[in-house]
Amino acid sequence: MPSSKVHNQLYYALVCLPFLFSLDRERVALALRSRTIALSLVYLALVAVSSAWSGEPRLEHFSKFGFHVVYLFVFFTLTVNLIVRRPLFLQHLYRMILASALVGSAVALAMFYSDVQNWPERFHGFGRLNTTNLSAAMVGTATLVAYLYGIRREPNRPVWSWLSWLTLAIGLAFVAASQSRAQMFAMWSAVGAGALFLRDKRDALVAVGSLSVVAIFLGLVLFALVEPGNLVSRGASYRFEIWGQALDLIRERPMFGYGQNIDRQYTMADGIVITHAHSSYLSSLLRVGVVGTLLLVIVCVNALRWSLTNIREQESFVVPGLIIHALIFMAAEGAKLLSNPREAWLYFWLPVALSAAREIRRRSAPAADFPRPS
């Protein structure tokens, strides 16, 4: 998901504004039938107004974050309306995610290795892909869709089955190259949870096997590239030091935090400076305190609850798998949840919207006879 101004402006001009102009009470009312969406909007609004207690408040901050709330409201409303009213939309959405991730991951890997001259250099540079852990989360989301939907749900459709296998292979290579331990563990947790809920032996074997491969891979890479004395700190990417400093700040202003505009740097014992809290939950506590983060937790619980409704009857773990993946990943990674179209829209807000669509169907039945997604 590009974050340039050009791509953002195209999104606003081609998606956001046309939908806003066509928005009516019926579409808004349908979206707000979901408590998950309503609570999400309350949380996002609180984050937006938190600029009032974040240093010197400026009108431009309120307008910028206010627009971000509107953009996400459009995203929620558009997504749930399409899912609820158009039964084939979800299928097309999953396939578009697969195709985009397949092309994007392959191009990113090719660009990185095009500058490497020989295989020893390739091994030494492995894992230093010019990307972020958030990019790994996006590719990991698509990789989960490839496995939980494309491979598990569409085995009899050769084209999409092959596309899913290719996306799975290249996506796993991308995540491995990023060396995002949080992302690897989040993906494993999602597949493992699916095996438990659906009592699926195949998923259980995949989860156990992938965990073993990841453990061996990370062990080899860490021991090969990191001095033994720095093994623990490198393996945790200084998270324990960062979290300790972040918690000290949170204790000073626990209820409402420091506001959305907090600009904090964390200096490690060896002099390295980190500019983010390495946890979406700690970041939320820093910005909107216990009050705002409690709202976020309620949103997460609601989304997970509705995604698991009638899960064994549906025999599909795509939506709960994506939510579990996001919740685990956000514990050790993540960025601002109120933003322009960025990574969090795909790995967190999209699964929330998918769960909200299930909630709306459940709350509306039998009053409304919506077509079921395929």
What stretches in the chain show pLDDT beneath 70?
Answer: 1-9, 11, 111-132, 153-156, 201-237, 312-315, 335, 365-374
pLDDT tens for each residue of 247-296:
988 999 999 988 888 777 787 777 777 777 888 999 999 999 999 999 99
Strand 266-267 relative to strand 273-274, pairing: antiparallel
Structure tokens given for 296: 């976020």
Instruction: Give the list of residues 6+ apart from residue 143 with CB closer than 8 angstroms, or none.
Output: 101, 167, 168, 171, 172, 175, 187
pLDDT tens for each residue of 161-220:
788 888 888 888 888 777 788 888 898 888 888 877 877 766 666 666 665 666 666 555
Of 92, 126, 95, nearest in space to 109 by CA: 126
Q: How many CB atoms lie within 10 A of CB 278?
A: 23
What's the helix, strand, coil split of the chain in %, to 5? 75, 0, 25
Q: Is 269 buried (19+), middle (13-18) or exposed (0-12) by CB count in 10 A?
A: exposed
